[in-house]
Protein backbone atom coordinates (compact mmCIF):
# COMPACT_ATOMS: atom_id res chain seq x y z
CA UNK A 1 0.00 0.00 0.00
CA UNK A 2 1.35 3.42 -0.96
CA UNK A 3 1.49 5.95 1.84
CA UNK A 4 0.01 9.43 1.58
CA UNK A 5 3.43 11.06 1.87
CA UNK A 6 4.84 8.93 -1.01
CA UNK A 7 1.85 9.74 -3.19
CA UNK A 8 2.15 13.45 -2.36
CA UNK A 9 5.86 13.40 -3.15
CA UNK A 10 5.25 11.68 -6.51
CA UNK A 11 2.57 14.24 -7.41
CA UNK A 12 4.93 17.10 -6.58
CA UNK A 13 7.66 15.63 -8.78
CA UNK A 14 5.23 15.16 -11.70
CA UNK A 15 3.86 18.67 -11.26
CA UNK A 16 7.42 20.07 -11.24
CA UNK A 17 8.29 18.27 -14.46
CA UNK A 18 5.11 19.51 -16.09
CA UNK A 19 5.82 23.11 -15.09
CA UNK A 20 9.43 22.95 -16.30
CA UNK A 21 8.35 21.42 -19.61
CA UNK A 22 5.69 24.08 -20.16
CA UNK A 23 7.92 26.99 -19.23
CA UNK A 24 10.73 25.86 -21.58
CA UNK A 25 8.41 25.66 -24.55
CA UNK A 26 6.97 29.12 -23.92
CA UNK A 27 10.25 30.90 -23.19
CA UNK A 28 12.11 29.99 -26.38
CA UNK A 29 10.27 31.06 -29.52
CA UNK A 30 11.95 29.60 -32.57
CA UNK A 31 13.43 31.94 -35.13
CA UNK A 32 12.08 31.43 -38.64
CA UNK A 33 14.14 29.25 -40.93
CA UNK A 34 16.65 31.23 -43.04
CA UNK A 35 14.94 29.99 -46.21
CA UNK A 36 11.68 31.62 -45.09
CA UNK A 37 13.40 34.89 -44.23
CA UNK A 38 15.08 34.93 -47.63
CA UNK A 39 11.72 34.41 -49.36
CA UNK A 40 10.77 37.93 -48.23
CA UNK A 41 13.36 39.26 -50.68
CA UNK A 42 11.84 39.73 -54.16
CA UNK A 43 12.81 37.19 -56.81
CA UNK A 44 15.92 37.97 -58.86
CA UNK A 45 15.48 40.42 -61.69
CA UNK A 46 18.00 39.42 -64.42
CA UNK A 47 17.38 42.66 -66.33
CA UNK A 48 19.05 44.51 -63.46
CA UNK A 49 22.22 42.42 -63.26
CA UNK A 50 22.85 40.37 -66.41
CA UNK A 51 24.86 43.14 -68.07
CA UNK A 52 27.15 43.66 -65.08
CA UNK A 53 30.57 42.31 -66.02
CA UNK A 54 32.77 44.35 -63.73
CA UNK A 55 32.20 42.74 -60.33
CA UNK A 56 33.43 45.90 -58.60
CA UNK A 57 30.01 47.39 -59.34
CA UNK A 58 28.08 44.31 -58.09
CA UNK A 59 25.83 45.32 -55.18
CA UNK A 60 24.25 42.00 -54.06
CA UNK A 61 26.07 39.40 -51.94
CA UNK A 62 29.23 38.06 -53.56
CA UNK A 63 30.58 34.62 -52.62
CA UNK A 64 34.00 33.06 -53.09
CA UNK A 65 33.98 29.27 -52.83
CA UNK A 66 37.15 27.94 -51.20
CA UNK A 67 38.36 24.41 -50.46
CA UNK A 68 37.16 24.47 -46.85
CA UNK A 69 34.87 27.48 -46.49
CA UNK A 70 32.78 30.04 -48.31
CA UNK A 71 33.81 33.69 -48.21
CA UNK A 72 31.14 36.37 -48.25
CA UNK A 73 32.79 39.46 -49.71
CA UNK A 74 31.85 42.67 -47.90
CA UNK A 75 32.45 45.43 -50.43
CA UNK A 76 31.85 48.17 -47.86
CA UNK A 77 34.85 47.04 -45.80
CA UNK A 78 36.74 45.32 -48.63
CA UNK A 79 36.84 42.23 -46.41
CA UNK A 80 35.94 38.56 -46.64
CA UNK A 81 33.80 36.92 -44.00
CA UNK A 82 34.73 33.23 -43.88
CA UNK A 83 31.82 30.85 -43.29
CA UNK A 84 31.24 27.14 -43.05
CA UNK A 85 28.73 26.06 -45.72
CA UNK A 86 26.04 25.51 -43.08
CA UNK A 87 26.47 29.12 -41.89
CA UNK A 88 25.83 30.60 -45.33
CA UNK A 89 22.01 30.74 -45.42
CA UNK A 90 21.63 32.13 -41.88
CA UNK A 91 24.27 34.78 -42.68
CA UNK A 92 22.55 35.75 -45.93
CA UNK A 93 19.18 35.86 -44.14
CA UNK A 94 20.65 38.28 -41.58
CA UNK A 95 21.71 40.80 -44.24
CA UNK A 96 19.53 43.90 -44.56
CA UNK A 97 17.17 44.08 -47.52
CA UNK A 98 19.28 46.95 -48.91
CA UNK A 99 21.98 44.33 -49.70
CA UNK A 100 19.66 42.76 -52.30
CA UNK A 101 18.94 45.50 -54.90
CA UNK A 102 18.83 42.94 -57.76
CA UNK A 103 16.49 40.64 -55.87
CA UNK A 104 17.30 37.14 -54.61
CA UNK A 105 20.57 36.55 -56.49
CA UNK A 106 24.21 36.20 -55.49
CA UNK A 107 27.36 36.37 -57.58
CA UNK A 108 29.76 33.53 -56.92
CA UNK A 109 33.18 32.44 -58.05
CA UNK A 110 35.59 29.64 -57.25
CA UNK A 111 38.89 30.30 -55.56
CA UNK A 112 41.63 29.03 -57.85
CA UNK A 113 43.36 26.25 -55.95
CA UNK A 114 47.07 26.81 -55.79
CA UNK A 115 47.83 23.47 -54.19
CA UNK A 116 47.10 19.88 -54.99
CA UNK A 117 44.45 18.24 -57.11
CA UNK A 118 42.76 17.29 -53.82
CA UNK A 119 42.26 20.99 -53.07
CA UNK A 120 40.62 21.47 -56.48
CA UNK A 121 38.31 18.53 -55.74
CA UNK A 122 37.36 20.13 -52.40
CA UNK A 123 36.55 23.45 -54.11
CA UNK A 124 34.25 21.62 -56.52
CA UNK A 125 32.64 19.72 -53.65
CA UNK A 126 31.95 22.91 -51.66
CA UNK A 127 30.69 24.56 -54.87
CA UNK A 128 28.16 21.76 -55.26
CA UNK A 129 27.04 22.05 -51.64
CA UNK A 130 26.68 25.83 -51.87
CA UNK A 131 24.88 25.61 -55.21
CA UNK A 132 22.41 23.10 -53.82
CA UNK A 133 21.75 25.16 -50.71
CA UNK A 134 21.17 28.34 -52.69
CA UNK A 135 18.93 26.56 -55.18
CA UNK A 136 16.93 25.07 -52.29
CA UNK A 137 16.44 28.59 -50.90
CA UNK A 138 15.42 29.80 -54.39
CA UNK A 139 18.40 32.13 -54.66
CA UNK A 140 19.71 32.57 -58.20
CA UNK A 141 23.45 32.33 -58.75
CA UNK A 142 25.47 34.35 -61.24
CA UNK A 143 28.68 32.31 -61.57
CA UNK A 144 31.58 34.50 -62.60
CA UNK A 145 35.07 33.44 -63.69
CA UNK A 146 37.69 33.56 -60.97
CA UNK A 147 40.05 36.49 -61.08
| Whether residues 67 and 97 fall in one domain | yes
Looking at the predicted structure, is the pLDDT value of residue 147 above 80?
Answer: no
Which residue range is the domain that position 112 belongs to? 34-143
Stretch 73-90: mean pLDDT, rounded?
90
| Whether residues 38 and 24 fall in one domain | no
Looking at the predicted structure, is the pLDDT value of residue 1 above 70?
Answer: no
Looking at the predicted structure, is the pLDDT value of residue 143 above 60?
Answer: yes
- Residues 99, 63: Cα–Cα separation, whole Å: 13
| Whether residues 3 and 63 fall in one domain | no
- pLDDT on residue 27: 63
Looking at the predicted structure, is the pLDDT value of residue 95 above 70?
Answer: yes
Least confident of 102-106, 113-117, 141-145: 113-117
Q: How many domains does the chain have?
A: 2
| Whether residues 21 and 87 fall in one domain | no
- Give 97's Cβ-side CA count (13 Å radius): 6
DSSP, res 43: B
| Whether residues 128 and 57 fall in one domain | yes
Q: For all residues of the chain together, what is the average pLDDT?
A: 83
Stretch 100-104: mean pLDDT, rounded?
96
Looking at the predicted structure, is the pLDDT value of residue 24 above 90?
Answer: no
| Whether residues 55 and 82 fall in one domain | yes
If one counts every other C-beta atom within 10 angstroms of the C-beta of residue 92, the result is 24
- Residues 89, 87: Cα–Cα separation, whole Å: 6
3-state secondary structure of 82: strand
Amino acid sequence: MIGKSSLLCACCVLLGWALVGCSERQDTPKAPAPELVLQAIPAANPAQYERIHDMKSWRNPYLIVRADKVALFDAADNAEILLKPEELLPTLAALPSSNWPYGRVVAATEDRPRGSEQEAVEVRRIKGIVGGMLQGAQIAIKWVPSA
